[in-house]
A and B are shown apart, each in its own frame.
Chain A
Amino acid sequence: MLKKLTFGQYAHKDSIMHKLDPRIKIFAVVLLSTMAFLLETYYKFAIFSLFVLVLIIISQINFSSLIRNLRPFFFIFAFILLMYIFFSRNQLDQGIRTIWKFVLFIIIASILTFTTTITSMVTAIEKLTAPLKLIKFNPRTIALLIALTIRFVPALFLYADRIKDARLARLWSLKNPKHIKLLFLPLLDRIFKSASTLSDAMVSRGYTEKRISYFNIIRLKYYDYISFTVLLAFIFLILLIQK
């Protein structure tokens, strides 16, 4: 299952969402995620979910990939639901809404990562965090940190899967809590080794904290302004709905 995890994975398609300026998409994720957590009534949930569905369709994202992204969180959703069932049964619908919010949040984040390459994301984050230079934060470092996290999340799961398989082959049991450390210690070791090689590979290819050129130049175009206006109009609409 972990091998099929696609979280954070860009999928090349020729959609309008892929063409949008990554800064607009990052703003959209922040705004829509905030909105998702402010939703209260089922009526608003339905309209908001419909909007997200439209975004998925115009992004040409494969639904099975989205479901795969959600699957690792099913345990957390089940846990939240059980907590409500056992300790606050009269507020069960509140639990359902909380899970729904999380699902929406994951899908919104997935739309961003499915439609935006890491270099575009790095460039956008660098531009958006440029004011941090004033307090001596390097925007490139912050942007690259985020980008590498996205790049290596699937690799991390792959390493975990390999270690798990190797342990299971030696009659290891996932049910034994003592055995869990036998999964995490080699995984940590692998992560540190990978990080060390990656930093060597970056340095050997001339990486410095200062960047002067970009492979992907980002520029706001007319459809970015239109999309942002549509987004703002939708958010105002949600806020205005009384039901």
Chain B
Amino acid sequence: MIKIKNLDFRYEDELILKNMNLKLKDGCYTAIIGANGSGKTTLAKHLNALLMPTKGSVIVDDIDTKKDQFNARKKVGFVFQNPEDQLVYSIVEEDIAFGLENLGMKTKEMKTKVNEMIKELNIEYLAKKNVNMLSAGQKQLTALAGILVMNPKYIVFDEPTTLLDNKNKANIMKIIKKLNKTSKIGIILVTNLLNDIKYADNVVVMSDGKIIFNDKKYKLNNKILKKAGLDA
């Protein structure tokens, strides 16, 4: 379980996240939704220990992100909005292996794992391709493979469909759903699109650095969406 306790995050003089409390259960599918500037990406970055709380704590399965970032990051993968900026190496299979190299896995085991992942996502035809030659959807799949291969318990998706066309968007959303239902990976989906939350079980609505709703999806109503600036 991920526990966020009394979290404050200050950037320069501005308080971005204000006294936030949240629990994300194992195998959950939670959507964090909010308008631009509501603090949802800032919150998401705390889950992967990319940002540290100014006050309060983020505990990932008993690991305090302030004390042990490496092991917290092993548990929580992070898929960024723009796949272009998150691919490190130029060849697909090599980029997928980047995280495994950092984990210190043996070469033979690493090659097996990378091949398994490539097969699982049906991207065998991309394995030897240069990442600069891929489409946005293919880049996002490569980025996802690079995270999945590290076998995380939770994955944070930060607006993963923003730069994709409808076909790729639907494909990514289906993969995310499958990861949650079949592999029991906890999904935290950060988005500002109401369409993206259709597979989520729980929804967290953020506004001005605060959580204004945290419950089952079916309890979400127009009043809350309006308060969060998400009404059409």
A contact residues vs B (CB 8 Å cutoff) = 8-12, 117-119, 122, 147-148, 150-151, 154-155, 193-194, 197-198, 200-208, 211-217
Contacts of A193 in B (CB 8 A): 85
Chain B min CB distance to A14 (Å) = 10
> Is B80 located at the chain interface by the 8 A CB criterion?
yes
Q: List 19 contacting pairs A-B, 8 Å CB cutoff, sorted by A.
A: A9-B130, A11-B130, A12-B129, A12-B130, A118-B89, A119-B91, A119-B97, A193-B85, A198-B88, A201-B78, A205-B73, A205-B98, A205-B147, A206-B73, A207-B102, A211-B102, A213-B101, A213-B107, A215-B107
Since A204-B73, A204-B77, A212-B104 are in contact, a sample of 8 more A-B pairs with Cβ atoms closer than 8 Å, ordered by chain A residue number, is: A8-B90, A151-B132, A197-B85, A200-B50, A206-B73, A206-B102, A215-B110, A215-B111
- Bound: A118/B91 CA distance, A: 8
* B residues 27-64 in Cβ contact with A at 8 Å: 45, 48, 50
Contacts of A9 in B (CB 8 A): 90, 130, 132-133
Chain A min CB distance to B108 (Å) = 10
Which of A117, A202, A203, A204 is most buried by chain B, counting CB atoms within 10 A of its CB?
Answer: A204
Q: CB distance B90 to A150 under 8 Å?
A: yes
Q: CB distance A201 to B88 under 8 Å?
A: yes
The 4 closest A-B pairs by CB, nearest first: A201-B86, A206-B102, A197-B85, A205-B99
Chain A min CB distance to B107 (Å) = 6
> Is B150 located at the chain interface by the 8 A CB criterion?
yes
A153 nearest in chain B by CB position? B132
Interface size on B, residues (CB 8 A): 43
Q: CB distance A155 to B107 under 8 Å?
A: no
- Bound: A205/B155 CA distance, A: 12
Task: Select one of A11, A12, A148, A215 contacting B101, CB under 8 A.
Answer: A215
Q: CB distance A198 to B85 under 8 Å?
A: yes
Chain B min CB distance to A6 (Å) = 9
Contacts of B101 in A (CB 8 A): 211, 213-215
Q: CB distance B89 to A119 under 8 Å?
A: yes
- Bound: A60/B110 CA distance, A: 29
Q: CB distance A198 to B86 under 8 Å?
A: yes
- Bound: A229/B103 CA distance, A: 38
- Digitize B85-126: 1 where CB-to-A-CB distance is under 8 Å, 0 elsewhere: 111111100100111111111110011001000000000000
Q: CB distance B132 to A119 under 8 Å?
A: no
- Bound: A164/B129 CA distance, A: 28
> Is B128 located at the chain interface by the 8 A CB criterion?
yes
Which of A8, A200, A201, A213 is most buried by chain B, counting CB atoms within 10 A of its CB?
Answer: A201
Chain B min CB distance to A223 (Å) = 21
- Bound: A118/B84 CA distance, A: 16
B50 nearest in chain A by CB position? A200
Contacts of B151 in A (CB 8 A): none
Q: CB distance B146 to A205 under 8 Å?
A: yes
Chain A min CB distance to B19 (Å) = 25
Q: CB distance A205 to B107 under 8 Å?
A: no
Contacts of A194 in B (CB 8 A): 84-85
- Bound: A208/B78 CA distance, A: 17
- Bound: A155/B105 CA distance, A: 30
A213-B104, A215-B101 known; A204-B78 Cβ under 8 A: yes
- Bound: A217/B78 CA distance, A: 28
Q: CB distance A206 to B94 under 8 Å?
A: no
